[in-house]
Amino acid sequence: MSAVDELLAQIPISQIAARLGVDEATAETAVRSAVPTLLGGLEANAQDSGGAASLESALAQHQGSSLLEGGVDIDQVDATDGEKIVGHVFGDNTDQVVSTLGGIGGAGGTSLMSKLLPMLAPLVLTFVAKQLGGGAQGQATSASGGGIGDLLGGLLGGKSAGAGGGLGDLLGGILGGGGTGGSGGIGDLLGGLLGSGRK
C-alpha cells in the first residue's frame, strides 16, 4: 500500500459525504483528487528554502496531533486551521486550484472542493508530520539525504519535484487514469498552479 493510499484509507468518506451533503461516491472522488494535490503543493513549497522553513514550522505544530489516532473524526478537524494551511500551500492560486479540482468529473464542483480542502489539510499535515517523525513508513529522510522535499517526493511515489517532468507529471502519474478527466490527469491541470504558496 502506498503512503497516499494509507492516508486515504484513514479518511472517513461517509462522514465527509454527510458533512458535505453529497453521496459517498462523489465524496470519495473529491478526496482522492484533493489529498495528492495537497501533498503535491506541500512538496512544491518544500523545494524553496523559505517555503521549506515555513513548512517545517507548520509540521512542528501538527507533530503531536492525535487526529489520525484511533480513527479519524472529521468533527475534530479545525477547518479554520485548514483554511490557513490551504492558503499557505497554494497562495494566490488557491481559487484556481479549487476551481480546477471542482471541475473534475464526479468531484462535486467548486463549492464542495472549497469546503473539502480545509477539512483535509490538517489531516495531510498531521500525516506528513508523523512520517517525518519516523512513523509507520518513516522512509526517506536518511535514505535520500534528508529534507522534507525528499520525504514528500517519497510519499508521492519516489520522485522529487525536480526529477523528470516535474510535479505536474508526478501528480499526473499518481492520478492519471483514475477517472480524473483530461488526458494527463490532475497533474496536467494543476502543474503550473502548485508551488506558488506563501513562503
* 179, part of any domain: yes
**Measured distance CA(135)–CA(198) in Å, rounded:** 28
pLDDT in tens, 88-112: 888 888 888 888 888 877 777 889 9
Note the pLDDT of residue 97.
87
The distance from CA 98 to its chain's CA centroid, rounded to whole angstroms, is 13
Whether residue 197 is contained in a domain is answered as no
Total-model pTM: 0.71
Domain-located, residue 199: no
Q: Which residues contact 56 (CB under 8 A, 6 or more apart)?
A: 148
* Contact call for residues 98 and 114 (beta carbons, < 8 A): yes
Per the domain annotation, does 196 fall within a domain? no
Q: Write down the H helix ranges in 21-108.
A: 24-46, 49-62, 79-90, 94-102
Question: In total, how many domains does the chain have?
Answer: 1
198 within some domain:
no
pLDDT given for residue 164 in this prediction:
37
Does residue 174 form part of some domain?
A: yes
Residue pLDDT, tens place only, 108-143:
788 999 999 999 999 988 888 887 775 433 333 333
Task: State which residues form the domain around 137.
Answer: 3-190
**Residue 66, domain member (yes or no):** yes
